[in-house]
Amino acid sequence: MSHETFNIWHCSDKSPTWNMAADELLLRQSNLIGQAVLRLYSWNQSASSFGYFQRYAEVSLWTELRPIIRRPTAGGLVRHDEHEWTYSLTFPSDHPWWQLKAEISYQRVHNWIRRAFDRCGVVTKLCSEVITEGPGQCFIGAEKNDLIFRGKKIAGAAQRRNRDGLLIQGSIQAKDTGIERSCWESAMLKEIEWEEWKPIEAFFKEIASLAEQKYESENHNQRR
């Protein structure tokens, strides 16, 4: 991956709705940005997020952690707290990653994360088969190509691909690995050419507007 150049956005702690709006806007503007963006971010409060196609009535019974927000990507229910590391990746529609089948891009991003853990002295592996213990809940059981540490899933992701580009949202539950997030982030960046990136003020205003109008709306979060 050393031949690829990414924009890196180190994002400060933000609200759950702001984080989902930021990732959606990155996808919408992927072609305008014209380059892959890796956003490394965290949450200013604990929250739950669930897949775009899941039913609110079901997932709301699986967790008491609120707020509970519908993501722009698919996948299952995820708990976001101080022990979680969150990232997103966006690619414009003319980028080689956009053309990959979902299974391949999923495998590729988790291999990237696996190699980063290796650099930090933590041995992980990709799951070779589906472990269905808690269907619909991201970190109960595991899907093929999820990242496993000592028999337990520690990294999962979900995708959305359209004419604007490709969005991958990923969650890493690394508490039991004993390493610091800064080590993992540095290890991730060693594999690519990258440039620090910060959106213009208008981009931040659009995020705030999208967060308020969509992700704070019960009509969106409970739409199905």
pLDDT tens-digit readout, 78-87: 999 888 999 9
> Exposed/middle/buried for 169, CB within 10 Å: 0-12, 13-18, 19+?
buried
User: Does a structural domain hold residue 3?
Assistant: no
Count of other CB atoms within 10 angstroms of residue 89: 22
pLDDT band (50, 70, 90) for residue 223:
confident
Q: What is the pLDDT of residue 179?
A: 95
User: Does a structural domain hold residue 91?
Assistant: yes
Residue 182 sits in a domain whose CATH number is 3.30.930.10
User: Does a structural domain hold residue 6?
Assistant: no
Domain holding 117, by residue range, is: 12-221
Count of other CB atoms within 10 angstroms of residue 33: 18
Per the CB < 8 A criterion, the answer to whether 158 and 73 are in contact is yes
User: Does a structural domain hold residue 35?
Assistant: yes
Q: Of 145, 52, 164, nearest to 104 (Cα)? A: 145
Per the CB < 8 A criterion, the answer to whether 197 and 37 are in contact is yes
Per the CB < 8 A criterion, the answer to whether 61 and 54 are in contact is no
**Helix or strand run (H / E) with residue 208:** helix 201-210
Count of residues making up the chain:
224
pLDDT for 132 beyond 70: no
Q: How far apart are CA 55 and CA 220, in angstroms?
A: 12
User: Does a structural domain hold residue 2?
Assistant: no
Q: How far apart are CA 75 and CA 169, in angstroms?
A: 10
Per the CB < 8 A criterion, the answer to whether 178 and 211 are in contact is no
Count of domains forming the chain: 1
Q: What is the pLDDT of residue 1?
A: 61
pLDDT for 130 beyond 80: no
Model confidence over 18-76: pLDDT tens digits? Answer: 999 999 999 999 999 999 999 999 999 999 999 999 999 999 998 888 999 999 999 99
pLDDT for 16 beyond 90: yes
Q: Of 174, 157, 175, nearest to 166 (Cα)? A: 157
Q: What is the pLDDT of residue 114?
A: 98
User: Does a structural domain hold residue 43?
Assistant: yes
Model confidence over 160-205: pLDDT tens digits? Answer: 999 999 999 999 999 999 999 999 999 999 999 999 999 999 999 9
Q: What is the pLDDT of residue 106?
A: 95
User: Does a structural domain hold residue 1?
Assistant: no
Q: What is the pLDDT of residue 3?
A: 66
Q: How far apart are CA 59 and CA 178, in angstroms?
A: 30
**Helix or strand run (H / E) with residue 7:** strand 5-10
User: Does a structural domain hold residue 148?
Assistant: yes
> Exposed/middle/buried for 32, CB within 10 Å: 0-12, 13-18, 19+?
exposed
